[in-house]
Amino acid sequence: MSAKKIARRKPVLARSEKSLNGTRPTVPASERRLDFGERWSFAPALEAKDYIQLQSRYQLFIGGKFVAPRSHVYFDSINPATEEKLAEIASADARDVDRAVKSARRAYEKIWRPMPGRERGKYLYRIARLIQEKARELAVLETMDGGKTIKESRDVDLPLVSAHFFYYAGWADKLQYAFPGRTAEPLGVAGQIIPWNFPLLMAAWKLAPALASGNTCILKPAETTSITALHLAELFQQAELPEGVVNIITGAGATGKALVEHRDVDKIAFTGSTQVGKLLIKAVAGTRKKLTLELGGKAANIIFEDAPIDQAVEGIIAGIYFNQGHVCCAGSRLLVQEGVFPAVIRKLRDRIATLRVGDPLDKNTDIGAINSRGQLDKIHELVDSGLQQGAQLVQSPARLPKKGYWYPPSFFTGVTASHRIAQEEIFGPVLSVMTFRTPEEAIERANNTPYGLSAGVWTDKGSKIFKIVGELRAGIVWANTYNKFDPTSPFGGYKESGFGREGGRHGLLPYVALS
């Protein structure tokens, strides 16, 4: 059966005539129900937030203290699920960046670099334990500020955040074993710029290895999700981390740019879009600064005919729909071997109809809010391009809340490799499905993007996994699972997905000079 016929089969999911004309797809009211006979739902199970103490204004964290920005400028942080203002966040300008760099330099020269590794390790262990103690509160804040589900922030992000600090605490006094026969020296002051999709986890990925190896840090969170990094700063105070070892400066791209261009920064570690990553390559060219980039992705999930189809469909759901598709390694392209295409599409369509979209603080919610209005507009723009280029959209009939930024779980069939939806990062809960006949064709299609971050392979045959994995140009490949992370495992990309690795012993390398 062709992809077109499947997409047009009606009952559970459909697209309206409007979507055929290239305007935003909507599902007719008559079809907005699940296909379980009677309409049913879970009772609300909201995570408590009455104990959360949000400040009305968050300052910069420099030299171990919260200080007002010299710029006197603040911007709003919005809860994307409600569009309510949560707090005002300080916007650091070049003078604030300079203050933070000076503070980090002082701490590096006088305290952190001379400190024995075993002492640095104690601070990291203390921070890891404090994160565990505060995990529930930090998870709620993460969900309120970023829109991701509490299931994700509580059960995935926060455990991994503390695990990263624990893991790198263990390396702090063992660097000679990490690089046998070599001497590892810290680089100095590290400027670290992170995105909004995993705010605390990205902070942990950056800070823990840098601190363990003796560097001091200036962290710049993304402008839509700064709040949890500033609550983390409170834990640094409680851990009595020496002043200036970690500084947190908030602001948008201009703040990040000022950090990258500061003359006294030794190392830039960036996670974000490929577009900004390319600007950073130019900015550090000809300077002494070391650079690592973790950029975008357009991962292929490859399902072979011999795969356990139900498990594979669950893996696809976890790989693209949970966390609203706001994952750089999301399996946003699905390559299905022709023989199982009808079965996979049928199961996928039925499964996305059961995903619950809504209040991310509800423990039953599968898909939370899109992080910002700007990101929602980008998703709409790319979905429109898919429709205009002739792909067929299948969309969940989920009811979307009236306020906030939402997008229903969706997938495209009839996608060709040249479509924008097959090449560009959508960074939303939208999957592009294509078919293949032979393993060679699957490899060729999977590698046919400018990115090379991650991929997934689903098959019953171990030999096939090894053959395919060896030929995929992707930094991370999952086999018969997807989106599993561990602090001991390196993560990073090929091609336009960046260079350098985070996690594991490899994650120390970008922060040391070896002799």
Of 221 and 408, the one with the shorter C-beta distance to ligand NAD is 221
Least Å distance between CB 298 and ligand NAD?
Answer: 9
Least Å distance between CB 425 and ligand NAD?
Answer: 5
Coil, helix or strand at residue 370: coil
Of 201 and 336, the one with the shorter C-beta distance to ligand NAD is 201
> Element (H or E) spanning 190, and its range?
strand 189-193
- Confirm if 485 and 158 have CB atoms less than 8 A apart: no
Least Å distance between CB 270 and ligand NAD?
Answer: 7
Q: How far apart are the C-alpha atoms of 440 and 123, rounded to whole Å?
A: 50
Closest alpha carbon to 221 in 375, 428, 75, 367:
75
Least Å distance between CB 224 and ligand NAD?
Answer: 8
Least Å distance between CB 263 and ligand NAD?
Answer: 16
Alpha-carbon torsion 410, 373, 375, 192, what sign? negative
Of 214 and 452, the one with the shorter C-beta distance to ligand NAD is 452
> b/e map of 86-98 (b: 16 or more CB within 10 Å)?
bbbbbbbbbebbb
Kindly list the residues in this chain that would bind ligand NAD in the complex (CB under 6 A). Answer: 193-197, 220, 222-223, 252-253, 256-257, 260, 271-273, 276, 279, 294-297, 328, 425, 427, 453, 493, 497-498
Strand partners, 432: 333, 412
Question: 37 in the Ramachandran plot: left (φ > 0), alpha (ψ -120 to 50) or beta?
Answer: left
Q: Which residues contact 413 (CB under 8 A, 6 or more apart)?
A: 3, 4, 6, 7, 345, 391, 392, 394, 433
Residue number of the CB atom closest to ligand NAD: 256
Least Å distance between CB 249 and ligand NAD?
Answer: 10
Catalytic pick from 142, 152, 294, 496?
294
Q: How far apart are the C-alpha atoms of 324 and 428, rounded to whole Å?
A: 5
Of 237 and 423, the one with the shorter C-beta distance to ligand NAD is 423
Q: How far apart are the C-alpha atoms of 120 and 106, rounded to whole Å?
A: 16
- Confirm if 75 and 223 have CB atoms less than 8 A apart: yes
Of 14 and 219, the one with the shorter C-beta distance to ligand NAD is 219
Any catalytic annotation for residue 294? yes
Of 140 and 222, the one with the shorter C-beta distance to ligand NAD is 222
Catalytic pick from 152, 328, 425, 496?
328
Backbone angles phi and psi of 200, in degrees to 5: -75, -35
How many helices and strands in the chain, by DSSP H and E? 18, 22
Tell me which residues are annotated as active site: 294, 328
